[in-house]
Structure 1
């Protein structure tokens, strides 16, 4: 079960990915400024049942761009995910997407359904699902402009208030060295995310395609993130899909805060497919 890493060349970028475990393939797509390190706590609870494939989305950490940064494009991200699936043997595979990674997973499923067996989209920030979508989108545009003119830390303050996490405090305590290393690495992605990543939330999932039932699409929400923006968008999307969301332990990042419980729910959902 040794972890293996590799890279593939895609149009405009190079994608870094990690593979470990055995069993059906589970592709994990990080969101926002995250990379593979966001799931270092979760994967150990899955690798005895799944071959986990986690990658750094283009522009984050070790998935370097060929040119200067530009606004992120969800269908392009979906094509990257498709190419990663093909690089590890092809689909259909299970997919877990978190936050912006859930948006990518939704686009992957709509555009390349033959590559997906089951998609679990955990708290996708699909702003277009909200009744006040225009107002929230405008707020995200302010975040992006602030990052470009004043810096990402000023943008982060606006962003956290907009998504309902201005009072969020990360879990306290000493982290394993590899987890801390990943956290430090992901901090280097903040400027790129706040300056160019807001379009991840502007993407509107293709509900008519996703309602077909093939592939199976499950929306995930956290037990402690009720009232936050991504929880609300997840619930709204599930309603549009005519399904009940799966409830996972923890908050928007429950896979890191409560990895064992998160893995148990994820395994149950995937085994239902």
Structure 2
């Protein structure tokens, strides 16, 4: 895919938002509307799922392709001589980390919320195997079974067995953003190894939801902050706090973006 898909609202410094999952910006209107009072909010849709491409063929996704697309979006919207703020959550948090590692000169401050960079963990092999099990559950028993296996893995619970359900029909995976994520995004993104050397001393803050304390992605974010020397900030809600608590989340994000990178707050 060569076309770029993004939406712009508001005015002020550029804030690039990369949605999580398969990159579909569903549920983020409340967040972007509140941020648009302070920023020119550019919401990037990497696969164009919200721009008429849902249901079309999607190849296995690469983190580098998402970050390169984000860089191209910045080329189009960023005034000469200026740098951008960036926010990415979940899989998009990984893309934001890659963008920062490759193009630090273009970025003013990056906030990566609960990126599943499990390769930095001491138990990386176990966590990587968990995501493979999520994929296998989706292929054999469908989306509900995959969601249950993922929830158990993120919360550190033993999964229920046996897995019940029906496998998705041919092509069904491409008809919903969650199906695209499970089939084309999740495995490659959770196998990504961040460039810790490039990220050290960069304008980076890692974030996790307060309701995620004790869970896998809270641990991952906290360890990434330690390994890179970045700040660590807790946000309202859990993994999808931006959707569930848009006003409080936007307030916290605004405070974090405008804070000097490297400070830690809870």
Category of TM-score, reference length = shorter chain: 0.7 to 0.9
- In the alignment, the residues of structure 2 paired with residue 256 and residue 165 of structure 1 have an alpha-carbon distance, to the nearest angstrom, of 23
Alpha-carbon separation, structure 2, partners of 1:256 and 1:27? 17
TM-score, structure 1 normalization? 0.81
Whole-angstrom distance in 1 between the partners of 2:55 and 2:22: 18
Question: Structure 1 CA distance, aligned partners of 2:95 and 2:199?
Answer: 13
TM-score, normalised to structure 2, is: 0.83
Q: Is the 8 A contact 1:145 1:195 kept in 2?
A: no
1:146 to 137, 143, 165: 137
Task: Select which of 8, 15, 39 maps to 1:26.
Answer: 15
Aligned to 2:195: 206
Query: Residue 32 of structure 2 corresponds to which residue in structure 1?
Result: 43
Between the aligned partners of 2:215 and 2:2, the Cα distance in structure 1 is 33
Mapping of residues 37-116 of structure 1, within 5 Å:
37-58=26-47, 60-62=49-51, 64=53, 68-89=57-78, 92-116=83-107
Given that residues 204 and 230 in structure 2 are in contact (C-alpha distance below 8 angstroms), is that contact kept between their aligned partners in structure 1?
Answer: no
* Corresponding residue number in structure 1 for 2:167: none
Give yes or no for the alignment of 1:217 onto 2:208.
no
Gaps of 5+ in 1: 1-11, 167-185
State the distance in 2 between where 1:121 and 1:187 align. Answer: 28
- Quote how far apart the aligned CAs of 1:124 are: 0.8
Aligned residues: 241
Query: Is the contact between residue 13 and residue 66 of structure 1 (CA under 8 Å) also seen in structure 2?
Result: no
Q: Which deviates more from structure 2 when the two are superposed, residues 150-159 or residues 236-245?
A: 150-159
Which of 150, 160, 169 is the matching residue for 2:151?
160
Asked if the contact 1:57–1:63 (Cα under 8 Å) also holds between the matched residues in 2, the reply is no
Q: RMSD value over aligned CA atoms?
A: 2.4
Gaps of 5+ in 2: 158-173, 261-266
1:249 pairs with 2:236 = yes
**8 Å contact from structure 1 (residues 59, 192) kept in 2:** no
Compare 143-152 and 188-197 and name the one that shifted more: 143-152
Cα 1:225–1:270 shift into 2, 3 Å: same
Q: Aligned partners of 1:244 and 1:272: how far apart in 2? A: 10
Aligned residue for 2:225?
A: 238
How many angstroms does 1:84 deviate by?
A: 1.2
Q: Which runs of 4+ in 1 moved over 3 A?
A: 63-68
